[in-house]
Amino acid sequence: MRVFRLPPPCVRVAQATIVALLLVTGGGAAAPAQEKTPAAAEPAAKPAPTDPGALYEVEEVRDLVYHEVAGESLKLNLFKPKVTATTDGAPSPRFPGVVWVHGGGWMGGDYNSEAKQARLTATRGYVAISIGYRLLPKHPFPACIADVKTAVRWLRAHAAEHRLDPTRVAAVGASAGGHLVALLGTSDANAEMDGDGPYAEQSSRVQCVVSICGVHDFTRPNFASAPIIWQFLGGRLEEKRATYELASPIHHVTADDPPTLLIHGTADILVPIIQSRLMLARLKEAGVEAELLEVEGADHGFSRGAKQALSKEAITERVFEFVGRHFTGEGAARPAPATGFEEF
CB atoms within 10 A of CB 139: 19
φ, ψ for residue 67 (rounded to 5)?
-165, 140
In which band, very low, low, confident or very high, does the pLDDT at 53 lie, cut at 50, 70 and 90? confident
Phi and psi torsions of 181, nearest 5°: -70, -35
Whether domain 66-82+93-326 has CATH 3.40.50.1820: yes
Q: Which of 12-16, 59-63, 79-83, 218-222 has the weakest average pLDDT?
A: 12-16
Beta bridge partners of 67: 74
Q: Are the C-beta atoms of residues 321 and 31 closer than 8 Å to each other?
A: no
Q: What is the DSSP letter of 249?
A: G
Q: For residues 13 and 191, what is the distance between their CA atoms, to the nearest angstrom?
A: 40
pLDDT band at 87 (very low <50, low <70, confident <90, very high): low
Distance CA 85, CA 91 (A): 9
Residue 75 banded pLDDT, cuts 50, 70, 90? very high
- Rounded to the nearest angstrom, the gap between the alpha carbon of residue 22 and the centroid of all alpha carbons in its chain is 21
Sequence spans of domains, the chain: 66-82+93-326
For 76, residues 6+ apart whose C-beta sits below 8 A from its C-beta are: 64, 66, 111, 129, 130, 131, 132, 151, 154
Average pLDDT over residues 2-8: 44
State mean pLDDT over 67-90. 88
The pLDDT of 254-267, averaged and rounded, is: 98
Check if the beta carbon of residue 312 is closer than 8 Å to that of residue 25. Answer: no
Q: Collect all residues with Cβ–Cβ distance below 8 Å to 46 and sequence separation of at least 6.
A: none
Vertex 242: Cα angle to 19 and 300 (nearest 5): 20
* Least confident range of 68-77, 135-144, 187-196, 209-218: 187-196
Angle at 88 between CA 85 and CA 93, to 5 degrees: 50
- The yes-or-no verdict on residue 252 having pLDDT over 60 is yes
pLDDT digits (tens, 9 = 90+) for 159-186: 999 999 999 999 999 999 999 999 999 9
> What pLDDT, on a 0 to 100 scale, did the predictor assign at position 8?
43
pTM score of the predicted model: 0.82
Amino acid at 333: A
**What are the residue ranges of helices labelled H in the chain?**
17-25, 115-123, 143-157, 176-187, 191-194, 221-224, 227-233, 241-246, 274-285, 312-326
